[in-house]
Copies of this chain bind each other. A is one copy, B any other.
Amino acid sequence: MTNAAEPPARPEPATMPEPAGPPARRRATRLIDIAAAAGVHVSTVSRVLNGDPALSIRPETYERVLSAARAQGYRPNALARALKQRRTGALALVVPLLRNPIWTRLQHGTLQQARERGYVVMIMEEPTEDPRPPGDYRYLVEESRVDGLLLATALRVPEHHALIKAIPHVYVNRRGPDPGNDVVMDEATAVQRFVDYLAGLGHERIALIDGPAEVDTVHRRVAAARRFCAARGISLSVRHAAATEEGGWDAGLRMLRLEPRPTACGVGSLNQLFGLTSALRSAGVDVPGGMSVVSFDEDECLAFLEVPVTSVCMPLHDLGQAAVDALVARIEGQPAADVMIREPIRLLERDSVAAPSGGRPARPVPLPRRPGRRAAG
């Protein structure tokens, strides 16, 4: 197919009509091509281009090589290099592809830092339904497609110890089964900001609506909330639900039936927040008059809602960056060490929080119909 012999020189017209057939892809220029052009050996070219410090070369030759490379628009073949060096320069990021915008910020931080460290990132999807054990992504390393795994899968399943031990990996935004490979944010401090803020306003009954208890971040938030509330003598009710609008709606209704009803509530995700807000509205509960609301997901849209929602803003970009650093350290054989991102965690005050109103709610909670959709057109 590809013939080593030079085909007879056929001048390439500057503006030739696109040949319709299979695009005869031009073979990329190789080290050997520029070696020929510069009249030196390939190994010399390699050394020059990689800036081998142990190389002494006369400036003239050096220049000749460099300009030949530039002239031919040389690009090293990452495959061949990786094969030889036993490292690919690629990382895989495994995310649950949820609609939640926090993943965008995480991806952004990851991609940026990877580029900084000279890696490219391959993003893999974790099926949302029927999530697979993290070990199922081993093959990416085993096939030498990537040097390591950034596992941002959500579930905390204690089963698969050692499925993955042998290959470089880091758990992002969750704790994995093996210590020393976790990169997480300081959820406890986030919760503390939340509790302190509400306690300062005089709230004494707080609710926390969050995702399934098996999700590691949820687990840590709930644990921290129990601790801080207990310390302050505040009563805490936790409601778990799917991290969707419907989940938020359901959990919200369940919360409203509590006696006595909480005066403030935190929500674990943006999607749940929409459901919760909708439920409160349908139930005729005023925000923040009848219920103060705080989101643990920051997003720009919160400022534009009917009543702008106060949130705790987490350092997801930094999390992504730190995860890359930690993984690269693992790849380079440095000792394992967990990482916790502590800053910046800020409470963004908007209009959804107020001091608790004295009495009980004016009217009992009706059971409204959940919003649906009707197709047309």
Residues of A bordering B, CB below 8 Å: 2, 18, 20-23, 25-26, 28, 75-80, 82-83, 86, 88, 90, 97-99, 101, 103-104, 107-108, 111-112, 120-125, 139-140, 142-145, 165-168, 193, 196-197, 244-245, 249, 271, 274-275, 277-278, 281, 299-301, 303-306, 308, 312, 330, 333-335, 346-350, 371-377
Contacts and interface: CB of A to CB of B under 8 A. Distances in A.
B333 A306 contact: no
A278 B249 contact: no
B300 A144 contact: no
Given A82-B79, A97-B104, A167 B25 contact: yes
5 contacts: A18-B165, A23-B168, A103-B104, A244-B300, A303-B372
B333 A22 contact: yes
A240 B167 CA distance: 50
CB-based closest 6 A-B pairs:
A347-B377, A22-B333, A278-B304, A123-B123, A75-B142, A78-B143
B122 A90 contact: yes
Contacts of A79: 79, 82-83, 88, 144-145
Contact of A275 (B22, B23, B25, B304): B304
A78 B145 contact: yes
Given A79-B79, A274-B305, A277-B304, 4 more contacts: A77-B143, A99-B299, A108-B125, A278-B304
A62 to B, nearest CB: 23
Nearest to A333: B22
A333 B371 contact: no
Most buried by B among A76, A78, A274: A78
Given A79-B88, A83-B80, A376-B348, A26 B166 contact: yes
A113 B359 CA distance: 57
Nearest to A29: B142
Most buried by B among A82, A108, A165: A82
Contact of A122 (B97, B123, B346, B374): B123
A104 B98 contact: yes
Most buried by B among A22, A28, A108, A300: A300
